[in-house]
Structure 1
């Protein structure tokens, strides 16, 4: 009769079933836990157990919102740019994160997870003060911290939007003009991306609140120069259309959509006064703008060959219909780039303000 009892023997439950490694030969590597790690672990366990957590000035934040924010925070901290910037920190070590996988936290090895847990415990110890201090110390950027997803909980988005987006270096007018002129000379129009490639300088500036009359005159004069250099009659008619269109939009304070949908009747309803068209000076009053529109309607508009059923003042030479809003914006930006007034005219809204 054979006994069913398995008696202990040498090596029983001491070796790995797959590779045969003897666990008794394992060298212990103790890891010292800090108090912040313990408190962070307790907070995670509390959120899992109760379904809510006290966080970001909210006494009962839903655990889903809390963990979604942590997930985005992990994605932001493990991005390549952020890891490089975290090396500037005197309080955080990122040695284990140097080979962090692109797939994310779930595919990281244990040393990397342990190091990341330590970083999370430190940046969440006093939220958001600890994280804000880290952003300022390492100059972390919003583009790197926003993670790889479209959904960012409010408690995380508010912090990175306020602290990481606002850290911009002011650019002097002289520096901007010299760089932008060089970029335009090489690429026809200004591009911040080209400026970064050529001069390793990111240009950030506040949009001009309004455009002065001097800049207004300068843009129209630039278009006049293009008209004078153009031999093709249709191209010249397009440039004259642009000049009249931009002047009318500025004087009558019209949006791009209103400018695209403008008709002669709408102009006459808006402006009752009548003047004779004068091109010696640029239009500055609604009556002068109306005179320019009426002159354009009688002398230039037909050269663009619009359809008979189209009542728009400004039409496209390609479609024979009224200009679209996007076309108005494109032509305006083209004129601004050609006049090298990118710094002075940041956007169409400043033109009509």
Structure 2
């Protein structure tokens, strides 16, 4: 049975003077899903979110919620609510009054308000704190209260404008999990904007990667990570090593690529539109690279380098290796195995990876 589409955008565009903030955006967001818009600062994320909320009118295109156009519908009449980065809780009100604020504006009865506030506080895991001052809450608790204040109004769509941006790292990691749990518990449709790829990848059912006002690619976190469709997505989502190279030949959808390091890689999946001899950028993830001592026999698709830095990071370590021919620096991600512990700064190593782990794009496709 197909999913019900809660929110649909058709060819949305917005321009400020000569600046094109949003360019021809279209998407369909299923009911009860977590949809993230991921991109660098200035790519148009906030402008798009403000159009969804009704704070900005698009120059062209349409927004529909459950099939009903939102054209000329003011923000307070739209079935959406918004959580801002700075939360905007009222310090002069206690927790219960903050959560109940929207219900009071709708003139809901006092008994009904008390019941619904108690219910929503229970569901977000903070029962019995209605009488507390918001100043007594931790950062994570304030986040949940800000979300509860929106969810108690039962919006069709909850818009979240980088709500974790002001939190410290440990709390931000915790709240990523809590936000996903809340979204699933309430069955709400979340539209979340962020420049932090970890937030988008961990929480989302679907991620739209935005760049220069456009959606470069839209799909599951796994699809974006393992099958990027543009060089921008390959470089922005997750960490990647990038090599400049040239197509040496193409046969049945795979190519041989000669990199700037002099390495000839075979069997790389490519778009047939790439011409032989064309300049390309080749991307490979740090965890896809294998290290072997330089004294070992060199396998095909191998380059040599020298260990510059070893960065410990809990269960993994990030090894920075300087490639011997060009001096370019590569990142390698390794688990803390016994073999890894023998690697020392200054060691000479062979680096190799499976050709199928590479992604190749035309050189001018890099944003």
TM-score higher than 0.5 here? no
Q: Which has the larger radius of gyration?
A: 1
More RCO (CA 8 Å, sep 6+): 2
Q: TM-score, normalization: structure 2?
A: 0.28
Q: Give me the TM-score of the superposition, normalised by structure 1.
A: 0.29
Which is richer in strand?
A: 2
